[in-house]
Amino acid sequence: MQSFLEPEQPEVLRWWPLAALVVGLAVVLSVFTGYSEPVTAAASPNPTQQSRIQQTVTSLQGRLHRLPDDALGWAQLGTSYVELARITADASYYAKAQGALDKSLALRPAGNGPAMLGMGALANARHDFAAAKDWGLKALAVQPRSAEVYGVLADAYTQLGDEVGAMDAVQNMLDLKPNVASFTRASYFFETHGRPDDARMALDRALAAAGAPDEIAFCRYHLGELAFGSGDLDEAEKQYSQGLAVVQDQTLLQGQAKVAAARGDVDKALDGYRKLVTRAPLPQYIMEYGELLDAAGRADEAAAQFEILARQHKLMEAQGATDDLAAALMLADHGDKAEALRRAEAEWGRRRNVLVADALAWALHVNGRHAEALPYMEKAMASGWDNAMFAYHRGMIHLALGQLTDAEKYLARAVRTNPHFSVRHAPIAVRKLAELRSGR
């Protein structure tokens, strides 16, 4: 069969059926990490979903109290804890997941595919992508026809910068289960390789395959994100609103707040983010809220949010989760620039994907090492991803090097791609571009 991801055959999308193929979001979508680094992109974190998973945990705990030697039950409990950590941003669930999965493997050390899969999901959630790959390969040896295993591997390979491995894993997912989980990963592959139309088509296929409200909300959110990333606020708002008509999903509410900020309705945006960080204190929301407060001239309140985010990073690290990428980006703009560089270099030592290359380039730049930054920026943009923040970073690096023609080229690309890409940086891009053009 022709590969779904083959560049010269985008119409292969038509080969896939549109049946509603519902999958368990707890395993499949919780480990989908591609869309919105530094935060794991995932299905909808909302109270209803959280309560369902907590009910599952309670039921499993009761079963395991009666049947403590149930290896599968321990694996399911561990995976549920991974999902709760994702939804609640409570890193203490990682240790509980580890304990349950270790118990499952102790009871059944050989051929325990569900526990190996859970360990891979846990490793991805902790950003230990090398371990996630290892566990995924172990699970694959036991369950060679498991789309969920290929999902863990796709996410690990993507984050490790292994494009061939990621493409093969996504293709295998599509061959086994052309469903929400596989189509959304295919969409991310297309988007990051400069094929936005194919990315949108893949998300449309995912939406057609969605059955549960959480799946529909997940697809609507990423359709909105794709539109927002290209600067189409009307389409983004439409997708977020259509998703919210199905379920009150926090990610979709974040999308609406982001659109409000882009349109200059700062009070509405601030109110939306304030509610978000109260209900779901996910790092992405805290970061965006802080930057919006800063842009609104409320520097003390913004600093408080960045401090909360710093403490959250420390709590995650205490639970075995490493997110030097997110920390580096925050510190480069809002903290200790030398520490930002140290973190970015540490992350580059663990994984070499385009997001880390961009973060390392930016950290080098803010530390005055512009010439060293440029090769990493070239690596970040090598795949063809039309990412406004990448273009902005590159433009500013060229500007610092006195390369004015290239600076104008990339700053113009950033503004053209998405004039609302950042409440902090987009106004700088517009201002610097105007200065360059007026200085001709």
| Least confident range of 62-76, 247-261, 292-306, 317-331 | 317-331
- Arithmetic mean of pLDDT, 127-149: 96
Asked, for residue 164, whether it belongs to a domain, the answer is yes
CATH code of the domain in which 186 resides: 1.25.40.10
Is pLDDT above 80 for 3?
no
Q: Is residue 394 part of a domain?
A: no
Structural domains of the chain, count: 1
Q: How confident is the model at residue 418 (pLDDT cuts 50, 70, 90)?
A: very high
Distance of alpha carbon 35 from the chain centroid: 4
Peptide bond into 38 cis (omega under 30): yes
- Tell me: pLDDT of 198 over 80: yes
* Residue 132 maps to a domain: yes
Q: How far is CA 164 from the centre of its chain?
A: 20
- Of 94-108, 189-203, 258-272, 278-292, give the lowest mean pLDDT range: 278-292
Residues 158 and 353 sit within 8 Å (Cβ to Cβ)? yes
Q: DSSP secondary structure string, 248-317? A: --HHHHHHHHHHHHHTT-HHHHHHHHHHHHHH---HHHHHHHHHHHHHTT-HHHHHHHHHHHHHHHHHHH
Residue 191 lies in a domain: yes
Residue 236 sits at φ, ψ, to 5 deg, of -60, -50
Q: What whole-number percentage of the chain has pLDDT above 70?
A: 89
Q: What is the pLDDT of residue 6?
A: 64
Q: What is the pLDDT of residue 316?
A: 79
Residue 4: the pLDDT is 64
Q: Within a domain: residue 137?
A: yes
Does 163 score more than 50 pLDDT? yes
Q: Which domain holds residue 263?
A: 21-271
The token pair that represents 38 in the structure block: 């530094």
Q: What is the pLDDT of residue 27?
A: 37
pLDDT in tens, 336-377: 999 999 999 999 999 999 999 999 999 999 999 999 999 999
Cα–chain center distance at 203 = 16
Average pLDDT over residues 170-195: 96
Mean pLDDT over all residues of the chain?
A: 88
pLDDT value of residue 39: 31
One-letter amino acid for residue 25 of the chain: L
**Structural domain contains residue 267:** yes
- Write out 99-127 in H/E/C secondary structure: HHHHHHHHHCCCCCHHHHHHHHHHHHHCC
At residue 440, the pLDDT reads 63
pLDDT digits (tens, 9 = 90+) for 15-47: 333 222 223 333 333 333 332 332 333 444 444
Q: Is residue 43 part of a domain?
A: yes
Separation between Cα atoms, residue 294 and residue 288, nearest integer Å = 10
Residue 12 pLDDT: 36
Tokens of 76: 């399911």
The whole-number average pLDDT for the span 130-145 is 97
Q: pLDDT tens digits for 72-117?
A: 999 999 999 999 988 887 888 999 999 999 999 999 999 999 999 9
Mean pLDDT of 219-236: 97
Q: What is the DSSP string of 47-97?
A: HHHHHHHHHHHHHHHHHHHH-TT-HHHHHHHHHHHHHHHHHH--THHHHHH
The two three-digit tokens of residue 274, written as one number:
């304030």
Residues 299-329: pLDDT tens digits? Answer: 999 999 999 998 888 887 887 777 899 899 9
Going by C-beta distance under 8 Å and a sequence separation of 6 or more, which residues neighbour residue 216? 207, 210, 243, 246, 247
In a domain, 238, yes or no: yes
How high is the pLDDT of residue 250? 87
Using an 8 Å Cβ cutoff, are 309 and 321 in contact?
Answer: no
